[in-house]
Structure formats: structure tokens, C-alpha cells
Chain A
Amino acid sequence: MSGLYVDSVNKEFGLNQILTDVFISCKIGEVIGLLGRNGAGKSTLLQIIFGALKAGHKYVKVNDKLIHTLFDSRDLIRYLPQDSFLPIHVSVKTIIAIYCTSIQAAQLHELAFIKPFLFKKSNELSGGEKRLIEIFILLYGKAKFVLLDEPFNGLAPLHIELVKEGIKAAAVNKGFIITDHDY
């Protein structure tokens, strides 16, 4: 099967079984919503798919490649955690250069809402500005599948619309799994 294919995910914390035999799949062009109450295991599932969290059992495949570790998911799956992950004291331009190819970086540099921040360091940005940059470096990055954990948290309504448009545009050649509470 082509695309991202996740099956038989089990995870428990102590005696608390969080995920039991979870199946989810995503193809290029799809935007999958993952909905649920707080503590239902949405973030845990995304972290397991990404490879940042060990599962009791998991089967994750992208096209024909099995994903066991973070190294396997490199350039295939990228993950936006709930909290900011940008390294402090590093300029936005450097961060973009690390995450994107030169062509993708040039496109990002031209975006009106990214341009003013290019030479600022991440610790000089507000929470919403950081979030916006984090999302767009993932949307413009190399990975074919992007896992967004509550991407709209902390964003201004205008920026939420920008992100929605960005996701729709990027979905032409990427697949998305998104968690959110606004449903």
C-alpha cells in the first residue's frame, strides 16, 4: 500500500492502556483529522507514528519502508508538537535553511508573513509567531507526511486562516494527520 500506513499500535503507561490496536492511514493529498477528549491518546499516537515515543507494539510503513526509529522517518514524516520546538538564539533564516531545500527556502522567504522575521532569533518571537514559523517550515519541508499536534493553538484568527490555506496548498503533494479540539 502506498502512503502512510499505521497498524496494531498499542501503548500503556503503567497499568493504564492508552492505545489498543489503533489503525490509521493517510495518502498524499489527504488531510486526516484525529479528534478526541483530552488524554485520549492523540498526541501519544502521533509521537509513536513519528518514532519519538516507544510503543508496546507498532507497525508503521511509508510506501514500502518500515519505520522503526526517528532515523527511518527522516525526510518521510515530520511532527509538530504542541509546544514550541524552535532552538533559541538561532535565526529564522538559519532554521529554514536547515529544514528546507534551497528552492523551498526561497519560496518561504517570499511569504509576506515570514519575511519580517527572517533575521530575528526564535527567542525574539511571540508564541504565535513561533507557531506560524514552525508550521510553515513543516509545510514547505521535504517530508511527505506531516503530523500536526493541535497546530491552531496560540494562533491569531487571521493566522489560523493562513495555516488552513497553507495546509490545503501543501496537501497537493503531502499527507497530513491533524489533531485539534475545535470540532
Chain B
Amino acid sequence: MNILAALWVFYKKLIFPSFAISVLLALFFIDSSKFLSGVGIAYVFLTPSLHFLFYDLSRPKEYYFYHNLGLSKTTLYLNSILISLIIGIILLLI
């Protein structure tokens, strides 16, 4: 349960900026009929990139908070990619 809470704390910081940028990208570059698909595809690729910017470049020491719970950098990246994929696929299917 603590691990899930920690993963949520880690991931929730990425949701709003990823989603906002994805919507903007889709607005500018995607045909309106494929808007949600565009948001979904952008979200899948943006989230891991923002993960890298937020954590690896900006606050690398924060990783220790998660390391103390047994979560390695690889696990956190896989978590980011997996959740983004799920959200992206849902947006593609809508």
C-alpha cells in the first residue's frame, strides 16, 4: 500500500504538465477529428520525457525518497511508461 502511495506521489507531478502540453500539441498539429488520439500519442511520449526533466535533471536527490522504499530508477521509469501507455491507449480508443 505504501509503495502504491509512493508511486502515486511520484507520478501525479507529471500528469498535469504532460496532459496540458499534449492538448496544446494536438490543438496545433492534429486534425480536429483525431484530437483525442493526438493527445493520447503525445501523452505517451511526453510523460517519460518530463519524468527525465523533472527528476533526473531538476531534482535527482528526490530519487532517494523512493529508493528507501525499494523503488529503483528503472522501476520508476517503467511505472511512468506503463501508466502513460494505459492513459494514452484509453484516449486512442475513445
Which chain A residues have a beta carbon within 8 Å of chain B's beta carbons?
50-52, 69-75, 78-79, 81, 83-90, 94-95, 97-99, 138, 141, 143
Contact = CB atoms under 8 A, between A and B. Distances in A.
Contacts of B68: 78-79, 85, 99, 138, 141, 143
8 contacts: A52-B67, A70-B67, A71-B72, A72-B70, A81-B64, A87-B9, A87-B10, A94-B9
The DSSP consensus for interface residues of chain A is loop
Given A70-B71, A79-B64, 10 more contacts: A51-B67, A52-B64, A52-B67, A72-B70, A73-B70, A86-B65, A87-B62, A95-B65, A98-B2, A98-B5
Q: Which 3 A-B pairs have the closest CB atoms?
A: A74-B70, A85-B64, A71-B70
Contacts, number: 60
B57 to A, nearest CB: 15
B61 interface: yes
Contacts of A74: 69-70
A84 B61 CA distance: 7
Contacts of B63: 52, 85
Nearest to B6: A98
Contacts of A89: 13
Contacts of B10: 87
B75 to A, nearest CB: 8
Contacts of B34: none
Contact of A99 (B2, B59, B61, B64): B2
B65 A85 contact: yes
Contacts of A86: 62, 65
Nearest to B2: A98
Contacts of B61: 81, 83-85
B53 to A, nearest CB: 15
Interface string B51-86: 000000001011111011111100100000000000
Nearest to A84: B61
